[in-house]
Copies of this chain bind each other. A is one copy, B any other.
Amino acid sequence: MTETEFLAALRTLPLHPGARDLRDDCALLEIGGETLVINHDTMVEDVHFRREADLSDVAWKLVAINLSDLAGKGAEPVGMILGHSLGGNDLEFVKGLREVLAVYDIPLMGGDTVAATGATTFSVTAIGRATCRPVPSRMGAKVGDGIYVTGSLGRAMLGFEGHGEYLPAFDRPVPLLDEGRTLAPVVTAMMDVSDGLLLDVHRMGRASNATMCIDSRAVPVALPARSAECMRWGDDYELLFTFPPGSEPPVPATRIGNVEARSEAPLRLDGKPLIAADGLGYHHG
């Protein structure tokens, strides 16, 4: 069963209104006049990290990718819950956890520890507090908006391949929490780019019922000779957002296209409609 099929099956279950039909990155929970933003991400040995990886990097990345989802919602981290398989270099894992928790000032709230059998699995549930409401989602892109992305894409890919200057981009991604909080009140749609820029743009177009027109020459990439791969590889954790015309976004970002009325496809790349998401990024499962 693929992830898409499994999600379709889950959508037949009783869903919380804050689940947003399982079509967004985080769950929202309204409580006592506040809105919590909750995200869960898992990293599995041999799938998300190599067996020989330094577990302090894995711990960093696990927390950082969860915080990146909170960043896409403009949320402020409150705490995190850890799911940990014992059996790897557990002290190294705690070392990386200490570093990432200190840098982003987020406390550990609890969790669960299990014995690993074979591949280790680590998960984090990150809990944040919305700093602006409505909380931005993938669904708000409007015709006429500009499409923007922070930073440049493909850096994690080059890090994964061993290019020295890009190693930290793969091993220790940086969640754009400040940028997300600044953008949240003014964007029309926002998400973090985790599975590849084009796939995430496609998802945003589908969720917003719009056609996202991207000019590939405008997309900032780490290695222009491999631009097509840089736009598809994922793991960069930049922010993708749409912004109304007539002014400039309040954080450094590059305009990579425009939102148009929904035509046959949720994404048009250099004029070419892309109906299916195949080949646009990283699919799970």
Residues of A that sit less than 8 Å from B by CB: 1-3, 5-7, 9-10, 12-16, 18-19, 22, 26-27, 29, 31-34, 36, 38-42, 44-48, 78-79, 81-87, 90-91, 94, 97-98, 101-102, 105-119, 121, 123, 125, 127, 129, 284-285
Q: Which residues in B have their C-beta under 8 angstroms from that of A123?
A: 42, 83, 112, 123
Most buried by B among A15, A110, A125, A127: A110
Q: Which residues in B have their C-beta under 8 angstroms from that of A115?
A: 44, 47, 284-285
CA of A157 to CA of B178 in the docked complex: distance in angstroms? Answer: 51
* Interchain residue pairs with CB less than 8 A apart (12): A1-B86, A13-B98, A14-B101, A29-B109, A38-B127, A40-B125, A44-B85, A44-B114, A45-B117, A47-B115, A48-B114, A113-B284
CA of A26 to CA of B19 in the docked complex: distance in angstroms? Answer: 22
Copies of this protein in the complex? 2
- A114 touches which one: B90, B98, B129, B284 (CB < 8 A)? B284
Check if B94 sits within 8 Å of A13, measured CB to CB: yes
Check if B117 sits within 8 Å of A15, measured CB to CB: no
- A107 touches which one: B6, B14, B45, B127 (CB < 8 A)? B14
The chain B residue sitting closest to A120, CB to CB, is B121
CA of A49 to CA of B264 in the docked complex: distance in angstroms? Answer: 47
CA of A26 to CA of B36 in the docked complex: distance in angstroms? Answer: 18
- Determine how close the nearest CB of chain B comes to the CB of A237; give it in whole angstroms: 15
CA of A86 to CA of B45 in the docked complex: distance in angstroms? Answer: 14
Check if B27 sits within 8 Å of A81, measured CB to CB: yes
Closest 4 CB pairs of A and B: A32-B32, A27-B110, A16-B107, A27-B109
- A86 touches which one: B6, B19, B29, B101 (CB < 8 A)? B6
